[in-house]
Structure 1
Amino acid sequence: MKPLYIIFSFILLVFASCTDVIEVDVPEAPPRLTIEASLDWERGTNGNNQTILLSTSTPYFAEQKIAPVLGASVRVTNEDSGAEFVFEDQNNGQYTATDFIPVIGDSYALEVIYNDERYTATETMVPVSDIVDVYQSTEDGEDEDALEVNVTFQDPPDIENYYFLRFKSEVDAFPELYYIKDEFIDGNEFTIYYEKTEDEDDDIGEFQPGERVAIDFYGISKQYHDYLRLLVDQYEFAGNPFSPTPVPLVGNCVNVDNPENIAYGYFRVTETIQTSYTFE
């Protein structure tokens, strides 16, 4: 057995000696301002309390994934009434207002001043349609035995509407996002279903009795719908060799003083319905 042991040790030594450390140089872009300005008016509330998040992008391998921005100036103006809402710096990347007044159909302008550069964006607050029913079934999905949650809403006739629907299970790390255009459903009831299919690689299982799903339903602008379409499509097709070449995802926040120094993120103002469903 001794000669065999020597040969085996020699093979291990050869393979170990052939191991090289490969260092990959990942190109780094300069940090850019990221603006997460989602002013969502939940139906049934006054909508006064709103928060805007500011951060800067970081290198891929950086230990600190989120770099909060401090000391910026943030304000939102209702362009129809002239009312101004100042968002106070909370010294953690959050900027808050407690006096915001949401008005359906009014246009709002965001202004962020950071590092002596001014970023602006405008959006119109769009109403959300009524949710008619939320229920479970096993009828529409890929697996006839898997549970699915269904959301039915009523689209108003003769109006171009766009919607954003967000499902978030309490046992999953990430939500499921849907963007909807009423081109083929104008004036009708329409149902969206969400079914989870089992995926061991991503640690995702089918819906189980007792599992709770948070549901957020938004009325959105066409501009935001188109942004979401790019965002969701690039996320879902990431890693697919047949997917289209990714394009830079630029929101509606424009750097007025230095257009080449673009900002990431988006400014939206929406009416939303928030509900949930627990599977039986």
Structure 2
Amino acid sequence: MDIAPMSNKILGIIFGFTVLLSTSLFSSCEEVIEVDLSKAAPRIVIEGSISDQSEIHTVKVSNTTTFDQPNAFNGIKGAKVTVNISNGQTFSFTATGDGIYRSQRFRGMPGLNYTLEVVVGGKTFKASSVMPRAVKPDSITFKSLTIFGNSRIYPSIYYKDPARIQNQYRYIVKVNGALIAEQVNEDRFSDGNATSDLITFDGDGIQIGDKAEIEIQCIDRNVFKYYFAISQIGGNGGPPVAPSNPDSNFDNGALGIFSAHTRSVYTATLK
């Protein structure tokens, strides 16, 4: 399954704002600093994932777009894409479109280390991810939450967190087929406990008759930090932080993320 992408334009804008902020810190408050975001050098963006499902896995290779360009996927042709697994297996990916590379069907295994290698433009980019063990929910329910006098209904995940193991979770929620929420959580304060994670989002919540699809991923620490940084930039859980590129697990200056994770999908209709 495709990893949920981050817009190349957003990544390029974040990179541009980082330059602007760092420049301003060393300048007089009266001096006007102008940064031409339209001339920022493009950066390689790689997004890929391996799950524990028997499926075709996808890697996307692209360049960031500049501030004044349309927000479109700027895919890169001609990359060599492989995944090497700590059990000695290697899978090659085949180009299926501009910047889209797909594997043959295979199932990832928890506990193994996966290394994605992308060779493009004479440079090699690598990222590694260890697939965690799956944590299955005990139940998924809908819960009413009152905010400033308005009641809204959100999905809630109930599960038993494994003791003495660092666990991180990513939730992807679709309502009536439309993506409405992505959220990550960790067990820093709930290790070994029976836990419930409420997935909140902007808007009116879930309405009677709505069909909710909830994907639960168990992710490694670096993947958690990447998506947590994105949520902080967007202001989830508090005021937005200063824009900056989330820490990628790729080397050699590439943006993006590679995730080896377990994945399970559940559907429920609010009645």
Query: Do the two structures share a fold, i.e. TM-score over 0.5?
Result: yes
Counterpart position of 1:28:
39
Q: Secondary structure at the match of 1:213?
A: strand
Preserved CA contact (<8 Å) 1:156 1:186: yes
1:37 has 2:48 as partner: yes
**Alpha-carbon contact 2:38-2:67 (below 8 Å) kept:** no
Structure 1 position 115 matched with structure 2 position 112: no
Name the count of aligned residue pairs: 235
Structure 1 residue runs without a partner (length 5+): 1-23, 198-203, 256-261
Report matched runs for 1:1-280 at 5 Å: 26-42=37-53, 47-63=54-70, 65-79=72-86, 81-138=87-144, 140-142=145-147, 145-170=151-176, 172=178, 174-196=179-201, 204-236=203-235, 243-255=240-252, 262-280=253-271
Q: Does the CA contact (< 8 Å) of 1:141 and 1:148 recur in 2?
A: no
> Are residues 64 and 149 of structure 1, via their aligned partners in 2, closer, same or farther at CA, if it must alter by over 3 Å?
closer
* SS of corresponding position for 2:152: coil
| Cα distance in 2, alignment partners of residues 28 and 235 from structure 1 | 25
Aligned-residue CA RMSD (Å) = 2.2
| C-alpha distance in 2 between matches for 1:184 and 1:64 | 39
Distance in 2 of aligned mates of 1:243 and 1:61: 23
- Larger Cα Rg: Structure 1 or Structure 2? 1
CA displacement 1:23-73 (0-9 Å, x = unmatched): x9544311221111122224xxxx242111111111122136211111110
* TM-score (ref. length: structure 1): 0.76
CA contact under 8 A between 1:195 and 1:207: conserved in structure 2?
A: no
TM-score when normalising by structure 2: 0.79
Over 3 Å counting, the alpha-carbon distance change for 1:196 and 1:37 in structure 2 is closer
Question: Equivalents in 1 of 2:128, 2:152: separation in Å?
Answer: 42
Q: Which amino acid aligns with 1:63?
A: P
AA in 1 matched with 2:204? G
Q: What residue number does 1:10 align with?
A: none
- Cα pair distance change 1:196/1:50, threshold 3 Å: closer
Q: CA separation of 1:194/1:108 partners in 2, compared to 1, >3 Å: closer, same or farther?
A: closer
Give, in whole Å, the separation in 2 of the partners of 1:141 and 1:271: 33
Give unpaired runs (5+ residues) of structure 2: 1-34
Q: CA separation of 1:92/1:244 partners in 2, compared to 1, >3 Å: closer, same or farther?
A: closer
C-alpha separation between the residues in 2 aligned to 1:25 and 1:183?
A: 42
Report if the CA contact (8 A) 1:128-1:163 is conserved.
no
Q: In 2, are the aligned partners of 1:215 and 1:275 still within 8 Å (CA)?
A: yes
